[in-house]
Structure 1
Amino acid sequence: MKKEIEFKIFTKNKGFTLSVNIVVYSLLFIGIGIAYLAREYLDNSTIENLGQGVGILACMLMIYFKITQASKRKSLNGNLNKKLRFRTREILIDDLKIELNEIKKIEFYINDYFDKWESQAGGDFAPGRTNGTSNVCELTLINGHKTKVNFQLMYENEFLKMRELLLQYYSENKIHFLKLIEYLGIEKYEEIQEFKKTLPPTLAISKMG
């Protein structure tokens, strides 16, 4: 068995991040607000025209960003300086070592990889390609404490390199069978039955409940 699998931990920047959506919608609502106030309360056509101009500019920016942002990658807005390491008997979150016998449950949420294209709603003007950092590892410890980290995957199905370690964690009752087959991408009934046959008898019988 491969003794260690490593991923980069994503640490998000703290504080406010200015996005394309915030810019264009702020301009749109400001323009509409100025035009409305000028017409209803100020009776000033110049200011009303200014508001309409700001609104038109916002609409033009929406069209521009909708066309150009689809092919761009989202900004990282964080760093990848720390490491997430999985080993047979322990998991390391950078310098924090957690022994397997301290862990009650291991869960993953895998739905992202570098340069993945995401379909977007009509009113979303953010970049259409991801940076692969939305994946999550959550550890529930025996003492009740939970630890959650985001980590990066560089290509589709990269997580499958964890197969042997996932089977090890499953054998230690740290991962439920239904979660195991989800992580391994085993979905069809026939594939599940075949996979069960590859498990040692004690695992196939005792761990699937």
Structure 2
Amino acid sequence: MNAARFQIFVPKKGIRISRSIILFGLVMICLSILTLNKQLFNIEGLDKVLIFILLALLALIVYFKISRQFEIEKIHGQLKGYIDFFEDRVIIDGVTYHLDQLSKIEINYGDYYSSNLFSSGLEPALSNGTQNRVTLFLNNGEELEVLFQVKEKDFLSGMRTHLISYHKKDKISWVRLMYDLRLNDYDEIQAFKKSLKETNGLL
């Protein structure tokens, strides 16, 4: 059986300071100093320096506002190990979980490398594809959650048969399967249901 393989993403802990916060923060600081200098200090030549800095910051803001449309966000963490989906098991970083060890599988995907983030600000507008998540619910009550990177837009091309297999073995519900396969149209769902019956699928 062919495996669908993806790299595991381990996010970096800590607070991230964005370029928007840095640049707009510097603009506010310069404007505040400029105002105080006019009202209180009257330091000669300081206004010109601050205006020059403000113009430079404005140029950077315009540059990032344009370039972000073609920029892929940096990976804040590590791509470490692999997750392999088989029809009868899932292997996470070398550890095998057979389907009979699991009560349920949830796979949340949709993020892929270079997809549009639909974000504002000055940060990169294209995704690094690491915000996909699989959660394994073990029979002993434990939950194992892993993030993974998807590089291709057509995630389903390599996962469709695996998802159907998980449903047949009661690890994914029918409603969840429809969601995972992105089947919304009534006719599409009925055609898919018929194809499962023809191949002895279990609903």
What TM-score do you get using the length of structure 1 for normalisation? 0.82
> Equivalent residue for 1:87?
86
* Residue equivalent to 1:207: none
Given the superposition, is the C-alpha separation of residues 59 and 87 from structure 1 closer, same or farther in structure 2, using an over 3 Å criterion?
same
Structure 1 range deviating more: 100-109 or 30-39:
30-39
The answer as to whether partners of 1:36 and 1:48 remain within 8 angstroms in 2 is no
Structure 2 residues without counterparts, runs of 5 or longer? none
| Cα distance in structure 1, aligned partners of 2:156 and 2:48 | 55
Q: Is the 8 A contact 1:113 1:131 kept in 2?
A: yes
Question: For the residues of structure 2 that align with 1:37 and 1:99, how far apart are their CA atoms?
Answer: 67
Counterpart AA for 1:130: S
Identity, % of aligned pairs?
Answer: 29
Mapped to 2, the partners of 1:5 and 1:202 lie a distance apart of: 21
Shift of 1:76: 1.8
Aligned mates of 1:95, 1:202 — CA distance in 2: 30
Matched residue SS, 1:156: coil
SS at match of 2:115: strand
Report if aligned partners of 2:168, 2:201 keep a CA contact under 8 Å in 1.
Answer: no
Provide structure 1 residue ranges, at least 5 long, that are not aligned to the other structure. 205-209
Taking the aligned partners of 2:49 and 2:18, their CA distance within structure 1 comes to 24
- Residue 129 (structure 2) aligns with: 132
C-alpha distance in 1 between matches for 2:162 and 2:143: 21
| Conserved 8 A contact 1:30-1:51 | no
Cα distance in structure 2, aligned partners of 1:24 and 1:144:
47
Equivalence for 2:155: 158
* 1-structure distance, mates of 2:192, 2:83: 28
Change (3 A) 1:87 1:54: same
For 2:185, the equivalent position in structure 1 comes to 188
Task: Give the secondary-structure state (helix, strand or coil) at the position aligned to 1:104.
Answer: strand
Displacement of 1:3: 4.0
- Map Cα deviations across residues 118-137 of structure 1 (whole Å, 9 max, x no partner): 3332xx11112222111111
Tell me the CA shift for residue 190 of structure 1. Answer: 0.6
Partner of 2:3: 4
